[in-house]
Amino acid sequence: MSSEVNSACCHDEQPDRQTVQPHKRQLLQRLKRVEGQVRGIASMIESDRYCVDVLTQIQAARAALDAVSLQILQDHLRGCVQQAVQHGEGDQAIEEITTLLAKWKG
Amino acid sequence: MSSEVNSACCHDEQPDRQTVQPHKRQLLQRLKRVEGQVRGIASMIESDRYCVDVLTQIQAARAALDAVSLQILQDHLRGCVQQAVQHGEGDQAIEEITTLLAKWKG
Amino acid sequence: MSSEVNSACCHDEQPDRQTVQPHKRQLLQRLKRVEGQVRGIASMIESDRYCVDVLTQIQAARAALDAVSLQILQDHLRGCVQQAVQHGEGDQAIEEITTLLAKWKG
Amino acid sequence: MSSEVNSACCHDEQPDRQTVQPHKRQLLQRLKRVEGQVRGIASMIESDRYCVDVLTQIQAARAALDAVSLQILQDHLRGCVQQAVQHGEGDQAIEEITTLLAKWKG
């Protein structure tokens, strides 16, 4: 497992822009928990639990996913985007982010 | 596995309001897929995939969860809430739903 | 001005389904305030106020609009939808609502 | 009225960080329209229009506000944030943005 670093680091010279997530371990733990939540929702439906209770659990899983994406976005802005700006490639990096945020807003 | 029925059915006489989801099989399949998506996101982070690609996958998983909750909500309104109204318990059922929706809107 | 009543009332016999909002006065006051907020945002932009301050005000206006729509939705469920169910026209009313909510989630 | 420029420009030396919006004219036109939409919603409620029609109009106004904030955010990232990064003040600018986005996600 890679060591934790302070900000996401995009190796732009690589075609696939590999990025070590600075909060990698934490993110993986959170996603493990989300996976468990999703399995839990399925088992609630299996055992005919009340709709509103199921919906409440789906909301919780959704909020957990949102927390994960907010963390990644924050680290991406701090790391990749800052680096891109410093290398004169900020416009492209920002274009990417706003395209993504436009979909968030739905 | 229970047979598919036309609308969610809340057995109000039971304290835990058991409900057979009318789209049970489909919901379980979708949640299976969401679980796979979440695992896929974790493995993208494991293998240091680019942040924006990860964020795009999280959005897809989130949209899939939203589709699940919309289906359940729709069946809940069609089934449980209609039945509650017919049994003179509509106000309580609607209160529950609006509390839930208030959190959706965030 | 119409008097305040307890729940939205859809006169289904009328082609345009006129509805007296039970919180009419309150809703109109809130919308007056939202209108003021929107004008305030424009004047912030006119006077070159800092982007993040403008964005924060837009969020506030958006939250105020959401509160208005949540109130109307709640009264609609309590009034029109309950009445529709009682008149055996629940499916149609619920279809309408879920179509609307699908767009909310977007 | 100020002339249109290519990116938001934060004069950091000023305590109030004045910013000329690069799409100022367009933003003001859009907000004028939103203001009209909000007034239109109020007048729909005044004249007892059907709840679902009112809710649909509120959604439209909300989407219009979102489009305004997305434009400002995009220009802010392109302008202010890029400049902040170039001046070694990127972390602070990015912190501000992520705080804002955390509220968006709700």
Q: Is D41 on the interface with C (CB under 8 A)?
A: yes
Of A12, A14, A8, A7, whose CA–CA distance to A90 is shortest? A12
Contact at CB, B97 and A49, closer than 8 angstroms: no
Instruction: Give the model confidence (pLDDT) of B26-40 as tens digits.
Output: 999 999 999 999 999
Neighbours of D (≥3 Cβ pairs closer than 8 A)?
Answer: A, B, C
Cβ distance D105 to B106 less than 8 Å, yes or no, reads yes
* Nearest residue, CB atoms, C65 vs list D45, D61, D73: D61
- Measured in angstroms, the CA of D2 and the nearest CA of chain B are apart by 36
Residue of A nearest to B96 (CA): A52
**Interface contact flag, A101 D73, Cβ < 8 Å:** yes
- Count Cβ–Cβ pairs < 8 Å, chain B vs chain C: 53
**D1-18: b (≥16 Cβ within 10 Å) or e:** eeeeeebbbbeeeeeebe
Tell me the pLDDT tens digit for each residue of A48-101. Answer: 999 999 999 999 999 999 999 999 999 999 999 999 999 999 999 999 999 998
Contact status of D9 with chain A (Cβ, < 8 Å) = no
Nearest alpha carbon to residue A21 among A64, A68, A75, A85: A75
pLDDT above 60: residue C63: yes
Three-state secondary structure call for residue D48: coil
Cα–Cα distance list, A92 to A82, A89, D67 (Å): 12, 6, 20
Q: pLDDT tens digit string along A22-41? A: 999 999 999 999 999 999 99
Q: Which tokens go with D72?
A: 């400002």
Nearest CA in chain B to A41: B31
When CB atoms are compared, the residue of C48, C61, C100 closest to D56 is C100
Task: Summarize pLDDT for D15-58 with one digit per residue, the tens.
Answer: 668 899 999 999 999 999 999 999 999 999 999 999 999 999 99
**Three-state helix/strand/coil letters over chain A:** CCCCCCCCCECCCCCCCCECCCCHHHHHHHHHHHHHHHHHHHHHHHCCCCHHHHHHHHHHHHHHHHHHHHHHHHHHHHHHHHHHHHCCCHHHHHHHHHHHHHHHHC
Q: Which of B94, B95, B96, B103 to mutate to test the interface with C (most CBs of C within 10 A)?
A: B94
Question: For residues B65 and A15, which has the higher predicted lDDT (pLDDT)?
Answer: B65
**Residue D59: closest C-alpha in chain B:** B105
Which residues in chain C are closer than 8 Å to B77, comparing Cβ atoms?
94, 97-98
Amino acid, single-letter form, for residue B3: S
Q: What is the pLDDT of residues C1-53, one digit of tens each?
A: 333 444 555 555 556 688 999 999 999 999 999 999 999 999 999 999 999 99
Taking the Cβ of residue A24 and every Cβ of chain B, the question of whether any pair is shorter than 8 Å is answered with yes
